[in-house]
Structure 1
């Protein structure tokens, strides 16, 4: 599996790796990729559907973490020269939100892949903003057939 160090910030390319479409896209950069880990980013904009009173809400943070997993899956399929599959959150075992970021802030989410078998991916996710952990979760995502 390929590991890269260059950031991918082309929003059109990122859009091809995930099934979500505007205005529901919650990742805008791929910062790191390897077989068992992915790091994605999002700059929170004022027109994001998950902002309220200039604050990015908890559902937005959860969706950002889930889309980081989708980005991992999409990039894996891209490397195999296959189309990115559609998936969904199968379960959230634990989610903790410590702080809600404001518009203009940059999120960086690291997802560690614990298991990825038969279209089911079990992960831990941790979101940072300005070097501080603001959210974490354990979730399971499932590919649609």
Structure 2
């Protein structure tokens, strides 16, 4: 989806560097690029860091994958706001449901993150997220996010 489909003030074709749409900065920024945006669905990518706060010696914290999904959603929301000529609003992760981890990821691996909003009630959204590495599903689940209505 391009910004033209979102009644934009400015045009931004995809893929886009996601840094401009996220408040996160290294070492807390885990998602790099917004690849697709269509309706309630977004696709982003990132690279598994070689070191940092998402590791305990040789193991990846499962919460890393939850944060990757949350950042992909925030990136899509920032893109939508920019396309509409609006200021990006804040939000926060408020819940995690049924998250499953089904694979391991090596440092430096390219990740693809697919998100879709499945429910909305007021400022609370439920987002289903899937994280892929080399075409294989490594994590999936639902998160609850609160988005500042502005």
| Smaller-chain TM-score bracket | 0.7 to 0.9
Q: Which moved more, 1:50-59 or 1:80-89?
A: 50-59
Any residues of structure 2 matched to 1:125-144 within 5 Å, and which?
125-144=129-148
Task: Note the C-alpha offset of 1:25.
Answer: 0.5
TM (norm. structure 2) is 0.82
| RMSD after superposition | 2.2
Q: CA separation in 1, counterparts of 2:31 and 2:113?
A: 9
The count of corresponding residues between Structure 1 and Structure 2 is 141
Decide which structure has the larger Cα Rg and report it: 2
SS at match of 1:95: strand
TM (norm. structure 1) is 0.85
Q: CA separation in 2, counterparts of 1:21 and 1:110?
A: 21
Structure 1: stretches of 5+ with no match in the other structure = none
Q: CA separation in 2, counterparts of 1:98 and 1:35?
A: 28
Give the corresponding residue for 1:38.
42
Q: CA separation in 2, counterparts of 1:26 and 1:99?
A: 18
Task: Note the C-alpha offset of 1:72.
Answer: 1.5
